[in-house]
Copies of this chain bind each other. A is one copy, B any other.
Amino acid sequence: MARSRVSLSTGTSKGLVLDLIRTLGPISRTDLAAETGLTAATMSNVVRQLLDEGLIHETGLGRPNGGRPVVLLEVDTSARYAVGLQLGGESITYVVVNLRGAVVGRLRAPGVGASEPTAMVAGLVEQIRVILLGLGIDEQLVVGIGVVAPGPVDIARGMVFGPAHMEAWKDVPLRDLIAEATGLPVVFDNDATAAALGDFWGGATEGARAHATVYMGLGVGAGVLIDGTVFRGASSNSAEIGHIVIATDASGRALVAEDVADPTAVVRTAHENPDEVTRLGLTGDDFTQFTAIAKASARGDAFATGLLEASARHLATAVTSLANLFDLDSITLAGPAFAIAGAIYLRVIDAQVNADFFARSRHGIRVRLSPQLQDAAAVGAATLVLQSELAPRTMGLAGPSD
C-alpha cells in the first residue's frame, strides 16, 4: 500500500476551495470567489489544479442565483477515500469514507485486549487492505488513515498512555508503526474527540453552541465542540469525565466515574454478587459480560437493570459536571457501550442533567443518542485525515462551519 501517486499538495487556497466545494457544492466559480475572497485569477488556477487531479468535476450548467446559467463544480465523491480506525479494549472499528465523509464500508473486529501491539499492527494493516479490496477501492486513492484510541493520548508523539485495559499499548509509537507499514499519512487522536467530530460531520450537533459527545467503550470519555471547533485544552486530554470525582464511598474515599460508572465498573459491581453472576451466566471478557447484562436488562431482569441504572446515575453526575463547566446546550451518547445499552443511559442522563444543571433557568440541554452510535469515533478519525490531507487550514477545527 504505497503513498498515493497523485500528489495531494496541501496548499491553503487549494484546501480551502476543495473544502468549500465539498460542503457548498454544486457551486459556481463566482460564488467560490465570493466565499473565499480569492482573486478570479487565483481561483481559476486552483480550480484548474483540482480538476486536473480529479478531485472535482464540472456538473454542467446551473442558475444558482436565478441569473444566467453558469458552470457548477462539485467534488468527485469517489476521487479519494480515507480510512478511520477506532482501537478499543472492547472492539476495533474500521470505516472507509469517501471525499464527502460518507461511510462506504465498515468492519467491526474483536477489541485490542491484551494483544501485543507491534505484531497486531501488521494485522490491522492487512485488514485495511482486505476491506479496500472488498470495496473495490484502489489503494492509490486512499489519502491516509485516522487512528483513535482512549485517552490519555500523546498526540504529538502519536501514542496512547493507557487505559488499564490497553496496558500493553502504552508508549508504543502507534502512529509511526502504522505509517511505516502502510506508507500512508496517519493522524492520531483521542477517541472521544473523534466521536464528537463524527457527530459534527453526521449533522448531530447542528444548532449547538456548546456540544459534548460522551463516548463509552470499556471506559468513558467525552469530546467537546464549541461553535463547531474541537476544544482541546493544554494537551488534547480535555473532557476526561471518567476521571472526575462524583461521589465518596462509605469510608470517605473519593470515587471517580471510572470507578463506578463505566462497563468495567458495571461488571466489577456484578461480581460482588456471585449468585447473580452464576444465574446470569456472566463469563468472558468485560465487554462480553457487559453485553450479557444489557441483554438481561432488556429481558426485564431486575438485577441487571439495577446495575445499569446505578451506572447511568453515576455517569449522569459526571455529565452534569461536564455540562456545568462547559455550559453545554447539546449532548450525544456514542460508542460501543451505548450501542448496546443506550436507551437506559439516555433516559437517566437526559432526566438528571436537565433537572440539575446550573444554567437551566437560561436554556435547556438537548440529550440524544448519536446517529452513528457505534461508528462515530471511527468516522471522526477518517474525517480527521481527510481534513489534514485535503484541507489543512481547518486542521483541529471541525469542518464546514469554519
A151 to chain B, nearest CB (A): 8
**Alpha-carbon gap, A85 to B244, bound state (A):** 34
Say yes or no: A239 contacts B358, CB within 8 Å.
no
Q: Mark A212-255, 1 if CB is under 8 A from B, else 0.
A: 00000000000000100001111111111101111110000010
Instruction: Note all chain B residues with C-beta closer than 8 A to A354.
Output: none
Say yes or no: A233 contacts B209, CB within 8 Å.
yes
* A233-B209, A245-B317, A320-B245 known; A325+B238 contact, CB < 8 A: yes
Say yes or no: B243 contacts A324, CB within 8 Å.
yes
Nearest neighbor of A326 in chain B, beta-carbon distance: B233
Say yes or no: B234 contacts A329, CB within 8 Å.
yes
A118 to chain B, nearest CB (A): 22
Instruction: Note all chain B residues with C-beta closer than 8 A to A243.
Output: 324, 358
Q: Mark A144-172, 1 if CB is under 8 A from B, else 0.
A: 00000001101000000100000000000
A232 to chain B, nearest CB (A): 7
**Alpha-carbon gap, A243 to B322, bound state (A):** 11
Say yes or no: A236 contacts B321, CB within 8 Å.
no
Nearest neighbor of A224 in chain B, beta-carbon distance: B325
**Interface residues in A296-335 (C-beta closer than 8 Å to B):** 317, 320-322, 324-329
- Interface assignment of A210: CB less than 8 Å from any CB of chain B: yes
- Interface assignment of A362: CB less than 8 Å from any CB of chain B: yes
* A154-B362, A248-B247 known; A210+B233 contact, CB < 8 A: yes
Say yes or no: A237 contacts B359, CB within 8 Å.
yes
Instruction: Note all chain B residues with C-beta closer than 8 A to A359.
Output: 152, 234-235, 237, 240
Say yes or no: B152 contacts A241, CB within 8 Å.
no
A37 to chain B, nearest CB (A): 13
Nearest neighbor of A221 in chain B, beta-carbon distance: B358
- Interface assignment of A361: CB less than 8 Å from any CB of chain B: yes
- Interface assignment of A271: CB less than 8 Å from any CB of chain B: no
Say yes or no: B363 contacts A244, CB within 8 Å.
no
A-B contact pairs, 7 of them (CB 8 A): A231-B326, A234-B363, A235-B327, A237-B359, A238-B327, A245-B317, A247-B247
Given A244-B321, A247-B254, output 13 extra A-B contacts at Cβ < 8 Å.
A161-B362, A210-B233, A231-B326, A234-B327, A234-B328, A237-B327, A237-B359, A240-B327, A241-B325, A244-B324, A244-B325, A245-B320, A245-B321
